[in-house]
Amino acid sequence: MIYRVGALIAALVFAATAVQAAPRKLLVVSVDGLDWRYLRDRDALGLKIPNIRRLLAKSQVADGVTGVWPTITWPSHTSMLTGARPDQHGILANAAGPPDPALSYWSATKIKVPTLTQCLANAGRTIGAVNWPVTVDAKINWNLPEVYARRLGDSSDMETVDHFGTPGLVDEIARSYPSFPQQWLDDRSRALATIFLLKRNAPDLLLLHLAELDSEAHEEGPFVPHANAVVERSDELIGDIVKAMPGDYDLALVSDHGFERIDRIANLKVMAAADGIAGDMAIEGGLVTTSDAKVAAWLRGLSGKGDVGREVPAAELARYAPLLSGSAFEPAPHVMFGAAINGEAHGPSKSMGNHGFWPTRSDYHSIFLLSGPDIKPGALGTIEMVSLDSRLEQALGISCPH
Indicate the pTM of the whole model: 0.93
CA torsion 23-25-31-34 (nearest 10°) is -30
| DSSP state at residue 111 | -
* Per-residue pLDDT, 13: 37
Domain boundaries, the chain: 23-259+361-396, 263-350
Q: Tell me which residue of 386, 360, 392, 364 sits closest to 60, measured CA to CA.
A: 392
Q: Which residues contact 132 (CB under 8 A, 6 or more apart)?
A: 30, 77, 145, 146, 207, 208, 209
Length of the chain: 402
pLDDT on residue 19: 38
Phi, psi of 177 (to 5 degrees): -130, 90
Separation between Cα atoms, residue 397 and residue 376, nearest integer Å: 16
Residue 51 is predicted with a pLDDT of 98
Write down the CATH superfamily of domain 23-259+361-396: Alkaline Phosphatase, subunit A (3.40.720.10)
Which residues, given as ranges, of the chain have pLDDT below 50?
1-20
Q: What distances in angstroms separate CA 354 from CA 145, 246, 264, 312, 328, one per listed residue?
A: 24, 36, 11, 20, 19
Nearest Cα residue to 371 out of 36, 64, 28: 28
pLDDT score for 397: 95
Using DSSP's 3-state secondary structure scheme, residue 205 falls into: strand
Query: CB within 8 A of 123, min separation 6: which ones?
Result: 398
> Alpha-carbon distance 206 to 204, whole Å?
7
Architecture of domain 263-350: 2-Layer Sandwich (3.30)
- Residue 153 is predicted with a pLDDT of 94
Q: Where are the alpha helices (DSSP H) in 245-361?
A: 268-274, 293-302, 314-320
Helix (H) or strand (E) holding 162: helix 158-164
Supply the pLDDT for residue 1: 43
Render pLDDT for 70-114 as a digit per residue (tens, 0 to 9): 999 999 999 999 999 999 999 999 999 999 999 999 999 999 999
Task: Please state, in angstroms and rounded to a whole number, the distance separating the CA atoms of residues 226 and 243.
Answer: 26
